[in-house]
Amino acid sequence: MILEALVDLAAYEELLGDLDLEMKPMAFLVELSRDGSRHVLRDTRYVPDSEKERKKPRRVAKQMAMPREAGRTSGDRALFLFDKAEYLFGIDPDGKRPVAKLELRARLFRERVGQAAAATGDPALQAAVRFLADVAAKRHTVDLPEDVASNDLFALSWAPDIDLPMIQRPAVLDQWRRLRARDGDGAEPRRCLVTGELAIPADKHTILKGIPGASSAGVPLVSFNQKSFESYGLSGNDNAPVSRAAAEAYATALARLLAARPVRPNGESLGRRNVRISTDTVVCFWAHHDFADAFGSIVDPDPDVVVEAYRGVWRGEDPHLEDATPFFALTLTGSLGRVMVHGYLRSTVGEVAGHLAEHFADLQLTRLTPPPKNGGHPPSFRLQTLLAALAPLGKGDDVPAALGQGIVDAVLTGGPYPYAALGRALVRERAEIHRDGWGDKDRRDARRALIKAVLERRRRFGMNIHDYPALGATMDPENTQPGYLLGRLMAVIERLQQTALGDVNASVVDRYFGAASATPKAVFVRLLKNARNHARKAKDSSKSRGYAIHLESQLDAIVDRFDPKDNGFPAHLDLEQQGLFVLGYHQQRHAFFAKKSDTATPNDSDPATPIA
């Protein structure tokens, strides 16, 4: 059961701490003087290490333990001792709220603080009452910094406590506990679906933020807001009774999984456990095992963040783990005010580790992208890079959720990748073949590695249309599939043109790659004629004569593989053959620039190895 697994995660990672409090990003502390006549805004925002290398680093608010409150929906409701500027000061940083709305919200916050002050007599709360009254009566002015966002949170603090939020004062915290204990008074105990114990069910489940596609204000995972969702005469969340403790535990665990920088209640940082696969879908994963860090490295492909025992996974080596520790993956899709469970997997660490090794092994492909200046290539492609390679340029998240989910399922279960990934990759390959920047090459490398992985899984599972051999990382001179040979032929023709003419504005690949990969018979006769002309021109130069002869011999060896009895080149190539075309072109191009010792030894009928 999903909720039960999330509750277990909250206990395992010690996320709960004090159930009456939860970690919230407090951008500012409103530090009040002893009598509340003065205030100072303490900015808690800082630049995390992950942002320091960027040109415009983004500051994040400090996480603090604040009252655990149910999420707001469309109504006006003040939070306890912390809130947005609209509620604390009656100020909208964006200047869009009507004055009447701001006055109402400030009054709600003021009343809540006043009730707590009357119940406790705490001097800090009494100072807050005076401060808020002075602000409302315009006797006290609050100047917000220019970079304050409308959703930044402010927490009340008292100067004698020195940077301590007011909720941390013992008398104030006791009052908050009493307020929380009164929630649900008079309700009938029900059997909790998660723990199996009799308890007062939670009336409202915690609002979750960070779910792509959902409302920015947050959405609950469990909610019944229409009669059509209810049964047996029950109303609202009584249809799925969950105790408040269990509801808060699962929501805390899920918030941790969705966070980009999760922390424990004591401020200790935790590893990231989510991958965004489209504009509205995110995959969360977890296990009571440090293998979750190894799996998490598909988000950040730096093997140094992975424990030593699992570094081989990135190299496609089977880790041979016989570990039955449960491994979970949960896919969530947001849609305005709803969140949908798009997929759920319960497996074991051993099984997922093996499947992850298979995934990286299937992606192994020679790279055309030169290594970055700060070091070599990562050991493999991260999942988000593969998905972005299937999207139009500049729209990395523009991948259908079903396609992204299919790829994630293949990674986790070892099953075939979705066939739609092949078709989408071929469309992007033809559209972007003319681009040649560093980032474009890296993008093509990732896309072609995915094409290879899709074809290899289809062959392995007997789903292939054509009987092609196992696909390796480097060029295979023995592969006689028409698509693969034609892709190699395209690379040879391109190389002949470069040898004869140097760099040109529009190469033969820029002009004819799309047509050659789909309808080769209509294109290659003309391309071969031009290639002979380029070969003659290149042989006229003493510097390029030997290399031109070598290239022409490769061209002849490939063309001889097509039997004239079959009318030479095929008229059309299906998706599998088009994928082989891209793979043959890529690997042949790499063979031209590979060191002689790194290239397979050619046979007599295929002089594929480049000359020294």
Instruction: Give the whole-number percent of the chain exceeding pLDDT 70.
Output: 87
**128/111 Cα distance (integer angstroms):** 11
Q: What does the pLDDT average to over 332-355?
A: 86
User: Which letter does DSSP use for residue 308 in this model?
Assistant: G
pLDDT tens, position by position, 402-425 = 898 999 999 989 999 999 999 999
Where residue 368 falls among pLDDT bands split at 50, 70, 90?
A: confident
Six token digits for residue 40 = 């100072």
Output the pLDDT for position 320: 62
pLDDT in tens, 382-391: 888 899 899 8
Pairing status of strand 21-26 against strand 62-67: antiparallel
Q: Is the pLDDT of residue 314 over 60?
A: no
Query: At how many degrees (to 10) do helices 521-539 and 545-559 cross?
Result: 160
Joined tokens for residue 478:
């023995």
Cβ 277 vs Cβ 383: under 8 Å? yes
Confidence of residue 580 (pLDDT cuts 50, 70, 90): very high
pLDDT of residue 288: 84
pLDDT, tens only, 541-571: 878 888 989 999 999 999 988 876 556 889 9
User: Can you list the pairs that 420-425 forms with residues at least 24 positions away whose Cβ atoms lie under 8 Å?
Assistant: 421/390, 421/450, 421/454, 422/451, 422/454, 422/455, 422/575, 422/576, 422/579, 423/575, 424/390, 424/399, 425/389, 425/390, 425/450, 425/451, 425/454, 425/579, 425/582
Classify the C-alpha dihedral 257-261-265-268 as positive or negative.
Answer: positive
**pLDDT given for residue 603 in this prediction:** 39
Q: CA torsion sign, 292 to 294 to 298 to 299? A: positive
To which residue do tokens 């497996």 refer? 347
Residue 26 confidence class, pLDDT cut points 50, 70, 90: very high
Average pLDDT, the chain: 85
Mean pLDDT in residue range 588-597:
74
Query: Residue 575's pLDDT is what?
Result: 95
Unique residue bearing structure tokens 């289809």: 458
pLDDT at 612: 32
Question: Looking at residues 17-39, what average pLDDT do you find?
Answer: 90
Least confident of 254-258, 502-506, 604-608: 604-608
More confidently predicted of 509 and 231: 509
Q: What is the mean pLDDT of the segment spanning 185-198? A: 81
Q: Percent of the chain, pLDDT > 90?
A: 43
210 and 76 Cβ atoms separated by less than 8 Å: no
pTM, two decimals, is 0.75
Q: What is the mean pLDDT of residues 267-288?
A: 86
Q: How far apart are CA 471 and CA 454, in angstroms?
A: 11
State CA 569 to chain mean position distance: 43
Does the structure show a pLDDT above 80 at 156?
Answer: yes
Q: How many residues does the chain have?
A: 612
| CA distance between the termini of the chain | 62
418: left (phi over 0), alpha (psi -120 to 50) or beta: beta
In which band, very low, low, confident or very high, does the pLDDT at 244 lie, cut at 50, 70 and 90?
confident
Q: Which residue in 1, 65, 3, 20 sits closest to 251, CA to CA?
A: 3
Interstrand relation of 326-335 and 338-348 (parallel, antiparallel or unpaired): antiparallel
The whole-number pLDDT of residue 608 equals 45
